[in-house]
Every structure is written in structure tokens, then in C-alpha cells.
Structure 1
Amino acid sequence: MSIQVVDRNNPLPRYVQAMLIIQQRIRSGKYRPGERIPGERDLAVELRVSQMTMNRALMELAKEGWIRREHGKGTFVPENFCPPPPEVLQIGVVAHIPAEHALEDFYLGSLFRGMQRAIVNTSVSLSILEVPADEIEKIGEALLDGLLVLDMLEQNVEKVNQLYRAGLKMVVLGASWEGLEVPFVDSDNVAGTRAALEHLISLGHRRIGGVFALPRTCNTQDRLRTFQQTLQERGTPPDDTFVLMEEEATSISQPGREKIRQILRSSARPTAFFCGGYYLALEVMRIAREEGLDIPEDLSVVGFDDPVSAALLSPPLTTVRQPLDEMGRVATEMLLEWLKNTAPPRHGVVLPAQLMVRQSTTSPGGNT
């Protein structure tokens, strides 16, 4: 994302464009109350206008109370200044994949539907910003009123914290990393995973395999850690040879498929699999059938996430339902309230996940 500049082809007068850019920087927190902003000459160079044009823009902003100019000291945003809301609030949704793929993805698409529910009958515009995970600091250049940051990685916690301390208004969605200072909304991956494992153990399963994906995400790390801890606590220590970690959440790689086949062919194979994603569960079920195993008689399978199709499978899938629509709605409403009232929202909200018990799980058969 490039820094916004005055557009010479825009019919709007250049000094007005410059005013709007500075107003947006104040609204977004880039220029904070009480702070000195760049000088007239520096702003003219940055926004690519003449110094005379920038002088007029600053004079108009001073008349309207957006800035205070002190001779010999500089230009400041007034202390305790609360900018009037724009006619339309501009909110960016930060994702690591292209917009068209984000909307097609069940997880991200469900979050986005929740966001849209929150802005019905409001003057809010949502736009998806594709920002690579290793360039997260670029969200500070967006010049939007607020941001919803999806699936932030642990490597970016301090970078995002710094942007938050600098005044950027944002809510993290789908991650609750330790040390994160930014308000967040997440689902309870720990309780959801524990419920799934307790369900399998209560059915009599003692050899339980696990398939996970996206190892750098908060959700996956929570699920994997809880998978290991729960089995350890219940006296059935996890067998690392039964655990698979994939890089993609929508499919299992060819080496991964071969490993699952080898696991299922072993004499002391698992009687159940916990899959940390919906598509991972579909893959495990398909491979199991190709190996001549019936579900759930020979192998119980639990997934994570609950699209409509999960209940229509044969057999219907036992899975952990995340409140994805609700997560998107709550995060958006938190951000909107922050933009209206200037005070940041409560630090974090974790919404409960629900185990949906269906016919893909049962007590282990003869292979115990």
C-alpha cells in the first residue's frame, strides 16, 4: 500500500484533497492529539503539491479546529481533539490472501458475513486489504478509519502492538496470542479441542491420531497443544508417529496422504482421528475408505468447523463448530464503538465453540 498523495487528475481542488488526507491521518491515529505533525514544506513534498497549496490547506484546517499552528514551534493536533465522524467510515479487513479467495474460503467468508451483518443500516464501507504476513507493518499506511486484522501470526505481535500504541485503531480477529495488546475476538479453540478429545475418550478410544495445518497460526497452536495435553492428562500419551502437520488447510499433501496410509495400515493403528480443520477431516475420511475402513465402525473422525455440508456427509461429521459469523459481527461492532467513542474496547473476547456430535464417531470396534 503506497502513501496517499494528491491526485492532479481529480477535479477536487488540490488544497481540499490535502485537507482530506490530513484529516484522515488524524482520524486513523497517525497524527494523535497533542502531537506535532510534519511541517508545511515536508507535507508539500510528501503529498506532491506546492508549498502555497499546503499552506492554504493547513490554514483551513486550523480554522476548522483540526490543527493548531504555533509560530516558531510547529503545527499540532489540539490536545483532547475528537475528530467529527466522516460521512462514511472506511474499514479495512486485513487478510494474507487475495480478496476473491478470502470470500470463497469457508472460515474467512463466514467471518466476513458477520462483519456485513454488523454494518447493516450504517454508513460503513468494508474493503479487503491483501497484506503478506511478513509485511504487516504496511497496514499503518492504509489511512483508513479502522482495521480488522485476520489470523495474525505470532511473529507480528510486537509490530502490531507498536502500531496500536501509535494510535492505529484495529481489532484482531481469530488470534489471541500471549502478549498481544490489541483488542481481539477469537473462538475458544482450547475448550473446543478438549471437548472433542473428551468425547473420543469417553467412547473408549485410547489410540487417537491428529491432523493439523497452518502451523504458524494461533488457532492451530492452541489445538495441537490442547490435543497433546488432554491425551497426556487422561493417561493416553499421544504417539507422535500418529500426528501430522500440514502447510495448507484445504488439502493434505501427497507425502501427508502416504503417511496417513502407513498409519492406518499399522497393526496398532489409531481407532480415531482428531482433525484440526474441516477439509482435513474430509481427506482423512476419503483415505480411510480407500484403505477399506468403514467410518465410524473402523475409524472415528472428528473435524473442526461446521459448514452446512458437514451434516450432509455420509456419515454426518462430528465436528467443533466455531461461532464464525458471531466473531465477525462482534469484532466489527467493537471497532465501530471505538471509532465513535474514542476509548478502546475491552481487551479481548473469546466466544465459546460447540461440539456437534453426529455419526462419524462411535466406540472402537475389534481394533482396540
Structure 2
Amino acid sequence: EGVLYRIPKRGTYVSERSVEEMLCTAPIAVAGIGVPSFTNDYAGIIISAFSEMVGKREWYFLDYDGIDSAAERLHGMGALLLLAMAPRPSVVPALEKLAGRGIRVLCTAASLDSKRIHSISVDNRQGILSALNYLSQLGHRRVAFIGTSTESFDTIERLNAFREGCLEFGLDTGAEYAICKDHKLGVQYLVDEAFGEWFGRPGAPTAIISGGNAVSGVILDALSARGISIPQDISVIGFDDSPLFAHLSVPLTVIRQPLAHMGRQAAQILTSPSAAEMPVNLRLPAELVVRMSCTSPRGV
């Protein structure tokens, strides 16, 4: 019933206190944080909210590219919990292994069917369908989607929801309008390639939905470089919000994730007495935040 933990440079000890007591009172308790990028607004907001709930402690940041060795170090440090943000599918087996060794693991941006790992994600389907419904009501029929990373749980869910929604709302469903791939030269080249195929010929999309923040900024820059005006020439909706988007010359309409709430929920789940029992798979609603980047297409 005791908890095995390690005080750096002092050795390994066994505590008779419960995991919950350790998490709430022990300043030496180690928590792991897995992040996809240190420049990601997504990660910063979740970590901030998570930290407020869990309290100040020693954080150990994992690099997903070396997940196996990082996981071993985390276990050796006596970590009690791990918050893994936006893990790739290839990372999940290592996380399952950690969970099997007694570390409480929760993944964000990943809806997992796991017997060991907790997960919290936004309802990507609901978010995409709300955006498509809004664009459909404005009169759009040719809507495009651009996503990156075929190894992202979120992006794949958004792409599938986009295809489903196009059928549901009677929109054009040409394969050229739904793009999701890992371009070897980066997001800029992916967007330039798509725009080269779409614009300057009949049948170009009248609206674009971005698969995430990494794509939204590139789409806006690429449209500006081509002299394509938002929203007069094309409507744009981004998935994920950023403080910058509300202050652009044309504020961007977005599908917003409740990131702070996600961080607080993650902390509550991981520190709950029932965390070691049945894993929680939680879906949080997305919010369509309408600003000024969408209007009816020309001629409607």
C-alpha cells in the first residue's frame, strides 16, 4: 500500500501515505509532462491550468522522439503521474508501459480505447460540423480543409468529420478539397501546393477550414501574398484559437478548445482516488467563435 519514490541524490524511500496524499503534500513528488512543441500555445495553457490544480512540484519534460529512454528515466525518478499532450500513436505503447508500472498517465488531444491510460480531448467532430453548418448557412458549397500530420489523433478526427459533414450538408466532396499529409518540406510548402491547385481556375473553394494553429497562420499569410482578400474573396475558419487571432485586421473565426478547462480536468482525474481504477475517456465540447473572417460567397 505504500508509495515508492525517490529523493534526488538522497536515495529511494517507501512512504505509507497514499498516492493522493503524496500528490497533495509532497514537494518532492515528480510529475512528467510530455509536449509536442515548446512553442505551442496549446501546451502552455494546459500546463498552466494543470499546475494551478496540482501545485508546485518538480516537472520533468519528456521528448517524444526518445520516449522509451525518457520513460525509463521518469520511472526511475519516482514519478507519480504523467500528463502527455498530443502524443503520436507511435508513442502510446511506451505510455501504456509506464501506466503498467504504476505511473498515472493521461493523454490530451487523443481519444484512446485503453485499459490503463486516461484521455481528454475536444469533440473534434462536433467542432468541425458546427463550422460546416455555419458556412453552409452562409451559402458556401465548395469548402476545403487543410491539415498537417497524419500522426495526429486530432487531425485525423477532424479530417474524417470534415468528409462526413460535407455529405451531411450537401457540400462538394472532391478529394482535392480535403488535404491532410506530412509534407517533407513543411507546412508552408503544403499550403502553397494546395493553393497552386485550387486558385486561378474554375471551381476553387470559397471557404477554408484549418486543421490547427500551425496551419492557420500559414494560410492567412499565403492568401495575403496572393492578393486574396478575407472574407471578400474567401472565408477562413481556424481550428484552435490564439490571443493574436482576435486582433488581426480581419479577426479570425475559430473553433476553440477549452484548454484551461482541459488542464484542470486532467489534474482532477490524475489526483482522484479512483484514478488507478477504470480509465476515464473524456470529451469536451468545442466552441465556434464567430468573428469577421467569414461571409457569403460572391454571387450568393
- Alpha carbons of 1:245 and 1:179: their partners in 2 closer, same or farther (altered >3 Å)? same
1:41-99 CA deviation, whole Å, 9 max, x = no partner? xxxxxxxxxxxxxxxxxxxxxxxxx6xxxxxxxxxxxxxx95763622321112244xx
How many percent of aligned residue pairs carry the same amino acid?
24
* 1:363 aligned counterpart, secondary structure: coil
- Alpha carbons of 1:96 and 1:274: their partners in 2 closer, same or farther (altered >3 Å)? closer
* 2:263 aligned counterpart, secondary structure: helix
Q: Is the 8 A contact 1:181 1:347 kept in 2?
A: no
* 2:111 aligned counterpart, secondary structure: coil
C-alpha displacement of 1:191: 0.8
C-alpha displacement of 1:164: 2.1
From 106, 111, 117, give the equivalent of 1:171: 106
The structure that has the greater radius of gyration is 1
In structure 2, how many angstroms separate the alpha carbons of the residues matched to 1:94 and 1:278? Answer: 19
User: For residues 113-192 of structure 1, what are the structure 2 equivalents within 5 Å?
Assistant: 113-119=48-54, 122=55, 124-133=56-65, 135-136=67-68, 138-142=70-74, 143-179=78-114, 181-192=116-127
User: For residues 1-368 of structure 1, what are the structure 2 equivalents within 5 Å?
Assistant: 17-20=10-13, 23=14, 82=18, 85=22, 87-88=26-27, 89-97=29-37, 102=38, 104-119=39-54, 122=55, 124-133=56-65, 135-136=67-68, 138-142=70-74, 143-179=78-114, 181-247=116-182, 252-254=187-189, 256-338=191-273, 343-344=276-277, 347-366=280-299
Q: Is the 8 A contact 1:114 1:328 kept in 2?
A: yes
In structure 1, how many angstroms separate the alpha carbons of the residues matched to 2:83 and 2:6? Answer: 24
In structure 2, how many angstroms separate the alpha carbons of the residues matched to 1:111 and 1:195? Answer: 24
In structure 1, how many angstroms separate the alpha carbons of the residues matched to 2:58 and 2:259? Answer: 17
Partner of 1:44: none
In structure 1, how many angstroms separate the alpha carbons of the residues matched to 2:188 and 2:219? Answer: 12
* 1:230 aligned counterpart, secondary structure: helix
- Alpha carbons of 1:295 and 1:18: their partners in 2 closer, same or farther (altered >3 Å)? closer
Q: Which runs of 5+ in 2 are unaligned?
A: none
Q: Which runs of 5+ in 1 are unaligned?
A: 11-16, 28-65, 67-80
- Alpha carbons of 1:140 and 1:286: their partners in 2 closer, same or farther (altered >3 Å)? same
Q: Is the 8 A contact 1:151 1:173 kept in 2?
A: yes
- Alpha carbons of 1:352 and 1:127: their partners in 2 closer, same or farther (altered >3 Å)? same
In structure 2, how many angstroms separate the alpha carbons of the residues matched to 1:320 and 1:356? Answer: 6
C-alpha displacement of 1:107: 1.1
The residue type paired with residue 79 of structure 2 is L
C-alpha displacement of 1:125: 0.8
Structure 1 stretch displaced more, 190-199 or 127-136: 127-136
In structure 2, how many angstroms separate the alpha carbons of the residues matched to 1:255 and 1:347? Answer: 36
C-alpha displacement of 1:184: 1.3
Which has the higher relative contact order, 1 or 2, with Cα contacts under 8 A spaced 6 or more apart? 2
Q: TM-score, normalised by structure 1?
A: 0.70
1:150-176 CA deviation, whole Å, 9 max, x = no partner? 112223334433432332212112211
Q: Is the 8 A contact 1:137 1:159 kept in 2?
A: no
CA-atom RMSD, angstroms?
2.8
The residue type paired with residue 64 of structure 2 is P
